[in-house]
Structure 1
Amino acid sequence: MAELARNDAPIKSVPKEEVVSPWLEAWRNFKKNKIAVVGATIIFVFIILALAAPIIAPEGINDQKLGERLQPPSAEHWLGTDDFGRDILSRILYGARISLWVGFLAVIGSAVMGCLLGIIAGYYGKWVDGVISRVFDIMLAFPSILLAIAVVAVLGPSLRNALIAIAIINIPNFGRLIRSKVLSVKQEEYVLAAKAVGMKDARILFHHILPNSMSPIIVQGTLAIGTAIIECAALGFLGLGAEPPNPEWGKMLADSKQYIIQAPWTMIFPGIALMLTVLGFNLMGDGLRDALDPKMKQ
């Protein structure tokens, strides 16, 4: 009887494990990284300030008041004025638009071209891989800022040409990254199965290989935006980027370098804005790397 009772006892169901998508799991891991959240918050704040610049800027970016030139921070001008009496806070807010715009567009352009060349090189291999890889090696043999200066010197100094130059010099970074990822992904069983059923190469590349290679591209893209902003500021500082009177941060630093002793705030505040923006993208990029890289998971 006791044995029968044991056999008739209700069987407890084992709770099913929650099925979590990789992207949702990555988001949860990212939120746990406090430093990465700080970086994302910094970026979010600068994006909001850039979008709301026409509303919150106290003055126009080109409103000159020569009687108030090189005024220190005050209640009227929170960050002081420059050598033309223009409000530095207003110019920094509008400068955020230029820096973020250049950073995002340059990285999108370099990522598209780099991924396209890298995925072709990694998938087809042989002489195609050899030609594309040698082009990447030649481009990487030059210091990035030197190559950017050369491109702008050929195209002519302007913000648009600076954007093009920054996009060009970052193509090899994305190309080599996606190439190495494709070399491993194309040996997976689902890719071999797609080839076996006669699926076209274009569909295999863009529907199977590329989506499964996006994690390192996202991380590299986030870090590259900060690098692109630095490169844009460097070109602007050298007079090869934004033309006056555009309030680009690098150009603002170049215009105020002669007043570093007399009016240090003219350089300090644009430099702080540049530093915080790049820091935000670097912290966020590190957080995304930790969240998306399976090797970093405990």
Structure 2
Amino acid sequence: MIETKRTQNLPLADDRGSRSPFVDVCIRTFKNPQGKIGVFVLLIMMICAVGAEVLGPYGEREQTEGARLLGPSLGHLLGTDEIGRDIFSRLLYGLRASLVVSLTGVTVGAIIGSFIGFAAGYIRGMFETVVMRLVDAMLAFPSLLAGIAVLTILGPGIRSVTIAIAVFNFPVFARLARAGALAEGVKDYVMAERSIGASAFRILYRHIAVNALSPLVVQLALSYAFAVLAESALSFLGLGVQPPNASLGTMIQRGRGFLYKQLWYAVAPGTVLALMLVSFNFIADAFNEANDPKRRR
């Protein structure tokens, strides 16, 4: 009589086996000290921007009589500007304007550019040629110069700055997405999907796009940082957010003439801008390190 061996209880599958590689990279990013710092600082800034009405003791345009260029105090944490407006309150509203314009513009440009780039890399042919020549032409112009050209046509304002940021971010993401589609399109899993009759849309945006997403996320974080700087630069030049509304760029522009009388007028928005740029770069570096096996510690 043949005895059958008892089957041993197999260990339960690790939770990581049920997660996608992209989720694993995000988790490793948040475990990285740089990623933690970047996410924490940006989260604090977003909370301050969203709750500007609650956290700010004064309104964005509210003036206090006889309070011109006052220093920091309990009543005015960062002092007042040249017409008696509270700098801390305007800093919160300016932070909101800069974040909304930058994040919206980059997100729109990234979505449109990635969608068209993936399609160009997968479809190829005349469509790819036309799209990539347009992208090359747009990349030939410096980003800030292209933004100024768009604002010259559309006129200054928040909506125009958002469109300008989306326009000069479109070609970067289109080129990255096309490169990802070309690299992933020749792999075995794509041929397997084609052999079972999967549609081009399913192959492209259900499989290729997911596997080529990591470089786009790194570029997205870097583009957010550059967009915040670009919005501030355009507002500094008078082409972005228009007075009496506040933004980081307009506050720096107005405060540079009062550095000896009211230091915090220009230093406070400049410090917030620097922290925001460093935080976005921290997140991009942490994500890149989490995604690259050679750089993991």
- Both proteins in one fold, TM over 0.5: yes
Deviation at 1:197, TM superposition (A): 2.6
Between stretches 208-217 and 37-46, larger displacement belongs to: 208-217
Counterpart of 1:56?
55
Q: CA deviation at 1:79?
A: 0.6
CA contact (8 A) 2:22 2:214 kept: no
Aligned match of 1:199: 198
CA distance in 2, matches of 1:89, 1:118: 42
Measured in 2, the distance between the counterparts of 1:132 and 1:11 equals 59
For structure 1, the residue ranges without an aligned partner over 5 or more in a row are 1-9
Asked whether 1:277 is paired with 2:276, we answer: yes
Q: Distance in 1 between matches of 2:292 and 2:127?
A: 29
- Matches of 2:107 and 2:7 in 1, distance apart? 56
- The residue aligned with 1:74 is 73
Task: Write out aligned runs for 1:1-298 (5 A).
Answer: 15=11, 18-20=14-16, 21=19, 22-297=21-296
Output the amino acid matched with 2:161.
A
Secondary structure, counterpart of 1:243 in structure 2: coil
SS of the residue corresponding to residue 108 of structure 1 reads helix
Check 1:183–1:248 CA distance in 2 against 1; reply closer, same or farther (3 A cut).
same
SS of the aligned residue for 1:239 comes to: coil
| CA shift for structure 1 position 17 | 6.2
1:25: Cα distance to partner? 2.7
How high is the TM-score relative to the length of structure 2? 0.91
Aligned residues: 292
Q: Which amino acid aligns with 1:111?
A: A
Instruction: Give the direction of change, closer, same or farther, for the CA distance of 1:200–1:27 in structure 2 (3 Å limit).
Output: closer
- Counterpart secondary structure, 1:187: coil
Greater CA radius of gyration, 1 or 2? 1
CA distance in structure 2 between the partners assigned to 1:18 and 1:195 by the alignment: 31
- Alpha-carbon distance in structure 2 between the residues aligned to 1:24 and 1:221: 17
CA distance in 1 between partners of 2:249 and 2:155 (Å): 18
Contact kept? 2:176, 2:215, Cα under 8 Å = yes
Deviations for 1:122-158, whole angstroms, at most 9, x for unmatched residues?
1122332222112111111111101100000011111
Deviations 1:49-91 (A, max 9, x none): 1111111101111111251111111121111111111000001
1:30: how far off?
1.8
For 1:159 and 1:27, locate their aligned partners in 2 and report how far apart those are by CA, in whole Å: 32
Single out whichever of 173-182 and 208-217 deviates more from structure 2.
Answer: 208-217
How far, CA to CA, are the matches of 2:267 and 2:147 in structure 1? 26
Pick which of 252-261 and 166-175 moved more: 252-261
- The one-letter code of the counterpart of 2:128 is D
The 3-state SS of whatever aligns with 1:170 is helix
How has the CA–CA distance of structure 1 residues 201 and 254 changed in structure 2, closer, same or farther, with 3 Å as cutoff? same
| CA apart distance, 1:295 | 4.3
Structure 2 counterpart SS, 1:78 = coil
TM-score (norm 1): 0.91
Q: Counterpart of 1:64 in 2: which secondary structure? A: coil
Greater shift, 143-152 or 91-100, is seen at 91-100
